[in-house]
Structure 1
Amino acid sequence: MIARALVALLLVAASLPAFGDTASAHIHTHQHNKIDSNERMEDGAFSPRDADHYTEGEHHQEFDHEAILGSVKEAEEFDKLPIEESKRRLGILLTKMDLNNDKYIERNELKAWILRSFGMLSAEESEDRLDEADTDEDGKVSWDEILQDTYGSDPEDLALDDKLVQDDKETYEAADINKDGYLDTEEFKAYTHPEETPRMFPLLLKQALEDKDTDKDGYINFQEYIGDRAKSKDKEWLLSEKDKFDLEHDKNRDGRLDSDEILSWLVPSNEEIASDEVDHLFAGSDDDHDNRLSFEEILDHHDAFVGSEATDYGDHLQDIERFQRIEL
Structure 2
Amino acid sequence: MLLRSLGSFFVLVGMAFGVPAQEKRIHHHGDLSDHAHDDARGFQYDHEAFLGKEEAKTFDQLTPEESKDRLAKIVDRIDTNKDGYVSHGELHYWIKHRQRRYIEENVNKHWNEYDKNNDGKISWEEYKNTTYGYYLDEEFDDVDDKATYKAMLTRDDKRFKAADREGDGVATREEFTAFLHPEEFDHMRDIVVQETVNDIDRNGDGKIDLNEYIGDMFTPENGESEPEWVQTEKKHFTEVRDANKDGYLDAGEVAHWILPGEVDHADNEAKHLIHDTDTDKDDKITKKEILANWNMFVGSQATNYGEDLTKRHDEL
Q: The TM-score by the shorter chain falls in which range?
A: 0.5 to 0.7
> Contact 1:78/1:306 (CA < 8 Å) preserved in 2?
yes
Structure 2: which 5+ residue stretches go unaligned? Answer: 1-10, 309-316
Aligned match of 2:124:
143
Deviation at 1:185, TM superposition (A): 1.0
| Deviating more after overlay: 163-172 vs 297-306 | 297-306
Counterpart code for 2:113: E
CA spacing shift, 1:304–1:197, aligned 2, 3 Å? same
Deviation at 1:195, TM superposition (A): 0.9
> Contact 1:38/1:47 (CA < 8 Å) preserved in 2?
no
How is 1:1-328 mapped onto 2 (pairs within 5 angstroms)? 38-39=14-15, 42-43=21-22, 44-46=25-27, 48-50=29-31, 53-54=34-35, 64-65=46-47, 67-69=49-51, 72=54, 78=59, 82-96=66-80, 101=83, 103=85, 105-106=87-88, 110-147=91-128, 149-150=130-131, 155=140, 156-157=142-143, 159=146, 160-214=148-202, 219-232=207-220, 234-242=226-234, 245=237, 249=241, 257-267=249-259, 269-275=261-267, 277-278=269-270, 281=273, 285-286=276-277, 292=283, 294-295=285-286, 296-306=288-298, 311-315=300-304
Q: Distance in 2 between matches of 1:211 and 1:128?
A: 28
Counterpart code for 1:211: D
Q: Distance in 2 between matches of 1:277 and 1:221?
A: 39
Aligned length: 276
Q: TM-score, normalised by structure 2?
A: 0.65
Counterpart code for 1:88: A
Counterpart code for 1:203: I
> Contact 1:104/1:294 (CA < 8 Å) preserved in 2?
yes
1:58-107: per-residue Cα shift (whole Å, max 9, x none)? x99776555435685x55665566223222123213413x89x583543x
DSSP-derived class of the 1:163 partner: helix
Structure 1: which 5+ residue stretches go unaligned? Answer: 1-34, 320-328
Q: Distance in 1 between matches of 2:242 and 2:266?
A: 23
> Contact 1:61/1:304 (CA < 8 Å) preserved in 2?
yes
1:240-273: per-residue Cα shift (whole Å, max 9, x none)? 5346657875667776544344223323655433
Q: Distance in 1 between matches of 2:127 and 2:206?
A: 31
1:113-163: per-residue Cα shift (whole Å, max 9, x none)? 433443444333323321333234332223344345545655434734332
Deviation at 1:170, TM superposition (A): 1.3
CA spacing shift, 1:67–1:244, aligned 2, 3 Å? farther
Give me the identity figure in percent: 29
Q: Distance in 2 between matches of 1:113 and 1:171?
A: 30
> Contact 1:65/1:305 (CA < 8 Å) preserved in 2?
yes
Q: TM-score, normalised by structure 1?
A: 0.63
Deviation at 1:191, TM superposition (A): 0.6
Q: Distance in 2 between matches of 1:289 and 1:37?
A: 49
Deviation at 1:194, TM superposition (A): 0.9
Counterpart code for 2:121: K
Counterpart code for 1:138: D
Q: Distance in 2 between matches of 1:243 and 1:281?
A: 40
> Contact 1:219/1:257 (CA < 8 Å) preserved in 2?
yes
